[in-house]
Structure 1
């Protein structure tokens, strides 16, 4: 059975352009996103970036590409990306996802959905049973950290670690909610 893609959403009381800047600018993005210790653009080709994560003294790196952006007639915007790591220490081999920014009364609904493939065969699939929920939690915690930054002005570095809460973010795609309600 294939694991579910990760999904996180929140509403942030800000405007779309400010949220876009804080998520698309690598220098701002790495400040709020717990998953990455480094995000830096590559000179060539355009749109490509390097990312790294450090945990327990081990650094795992990969590359990504902003594959597409689109402005929608309803005023929303979508950013699509692909990522991969050739690092043998990385559980994630390749993946893809999106960020969707939808203006709503009082702010912007910020959503991500992404999935990835693993390496290390059967052991990698087993390890992902633990890693995937933790990675989803880290994504949600980071979204709330970004929300606090944009709504209160308190920078991520000055927020107590207990201020952001993954529990304030939705983690179930609306389609999953409908399906779950129908099967109850």
Structure 2
């Protein structure tokens, strides 16, 4: 089970709208390129289609069904969904999950728990454990923080993505500059100014390591989404809402 929790200091109705409306949901959620509602009977759970562009020429799509409860004890809200993808290149075959909205004096605990069944046999299970599942957990947490910035600070999902790309470019450039400084012998050696002395190699390496550490360990900008700001370990006795059991498998 993948679990992610963010503390969002915003109006509950605003958070509900930006997560339950497919057009707004797809703006902040890195896992999806498109989320579109499908025709559903009045009063029935909402059916939807989702798609993820894996490569410029490859899009993996699936369908799902979701339902929500806006009025629960203590002001809490909850939604649940089931989803599946028949696409043979989709590692994710089918799954289910939920969102909880828990008001607290310090903001809304917005949390999710979800799981899925991978395809491709033993290879799929291994690929999921080593690569796909950690990536999905990171993408969910990063997206939740992106949503938080939108709700708390008014930073649109497009702007926060631009900030993230710019920050990643700066960090990458710093790492490359450190590596280039070592290989080209441009950093001063232990003997001080002038040409590099014989002791310059170790000193240059230490400088490069320091530059790399700064580039990688400096906290992200307050305007940049970061998965590290979200809780990734579920609390004791966490369980899926009963609403999930009422949903049928999407057809």
The TM-score with structure 2 as length reference comes to: 0.66
3-state SS, counterpart of residue 71 of structure 1:
coil
3-state SS, counterpart of residue 88 of structure 1:
coil
Deviation at 1:68, TM superposition (A): 4.5
Unmatched runs of 5 consecutive residues or more in structure 2? 168-223, 238-251
Deviation at 1:71, TM superposition (A): 2.9
Report what 2:232 is aligned to.
171
* Contact persistence 1:98–1:112 (CA under 8 A): yes
Q: Structure 1: how far apart are the matches of 2:70 and 2:90? A: 30
Q: Could you give the per-residue CA deviations for residues 114-135 of structure 1, whole angstroms, max 9, x where no partner exists?
A: 0000111101101101100100
The TM-score with structure 1 as length reference comes to: 0.89
Report what 2:59 is aligned to.
59
Report what 1:96 is aligned to.
96
Deviation at 1:35, TM superposition (A): 0.3
Greater strand proportion: 1
Aligned residue pairs total 172
1:26 to 8, 22, 29: 22
Report what 1:182 is aligned to.
none
Q: Could you give the per-residue CA deviations for residues 68-103 of structure 1, whole angstroms, max 9, x where no partner exists?
A: 536321110110110000111111111000000011
Greater helix proportion: 2
Report what 2:133 is aligned to.
132
Provide the aligned C-alpha RMSD in A. Answer: 1.4
Q: Structure 1: how far apart are the matches of 2:96 and 2:22? A: 18
Q: Is 2:42 the counterpart of 1:41?
A: no
Unmatched runs of 5 consecutive residues or more in structure 1? 177-184
